[in-house]
Structure 1
Amino acid sequence: MNDFTKNIAQALFNQDKINDLLRKELQQAVNDLLETELTAFLGYNPYARDGWNTGNSRNGAYFCKVDTQFGKIEIQVPRDRNGLFHQHTLPDYKQHADVLENMIIKLYSKGVTTREIADLIEKMYGSHYSPAQVSNISKQMIIPKVEAYHKRKLSDKFFCVYLDATYIPLRRETFER
């Protein structure tokens, strides 16, 4: 068994330990993916002779924190010397994952008020959203979908089936004399 399998087996009985383990693994995976993305962009591995005197090289990293469903993770985004590298792994300028936003949209579409949604999210995730923020998120996510629905191309032919029926319950009674 590898280390991840051992750690997950030990953490199975405690929800906090599982979330902590998954948060650490997610953080490591995202950071490794960003490093790999920079390596692919530059065309050579770290400390490789191929990169000497190429005009562009690794130039440290900047750090940012992102909220995920497992907790906050610290991301180390690498940079290149010329500033041409743009990572595509994470969305730009986002401080949290879309899990909360998707939940807001689902609750809003079910008819839950913005104040109730804000209270639920604060109780469940510890993230504070004001009712105005909940309203803005729902507008931001729903309005493009509504506009796309209105601008969709319609078929030239429509078929309609019209049914009309009347049901009259009759009771059959037999009279015996």
Structure 2
Amino acid sequence: MQRVYPKARHQVCCVHVSRNISSKVRVKDRAAILDDFKAVYQAKDREEAVNALEHFERKWEKTYPRVIEAVVNNDQMLTFYDFPESIRQSIYSTNLIEAFNKEIKRYVKRKEQFPNEDALERFLVTRFLDYNHKFSMRCHRGFGKAKSELIRMFETLED
């Protein structure tokens, strides 16, 4: 991705990080550790998020050193704080992508079989075109408000 889009920034899904943490800690600690992690990605700005991450690390590093190391060393976890506040809730998770992937799986399962790869490809392209048409005139929550800020941000990146 970086080779083709060198200025693109990657954001890992904080929901998936939470699930990963949850699967690697004791059941009795799950609620507490996930609440502490939630404070990281629900902070009002990057500074508060970094403070919450430091608190998270100090509190849990002795009990779960490998889990905490993986979370703290993930450089792509706080990328969404570089974007306007109105869209952060939409981009710290991959829910938009996952919903579409789930829809594709449901359509493919209903179809059951394809005579060849070309048929599958045509089917998928049709789904993609329908999706693009459906959402071409819609603005996802927060993006309308952030549109001018995003344009300024991307113009700055081009310079």
Higher helix share: 2
Q: In which range does the TM-score fall when normalised by the shorter chain?
A: under 0.3
Higher RCO (CA 8 Å, separation ≥ 6 residues): 2
TM-score, with structure 2 as normaliser = 0.28
Q: Which has the larger radius of gyration?
A: 1
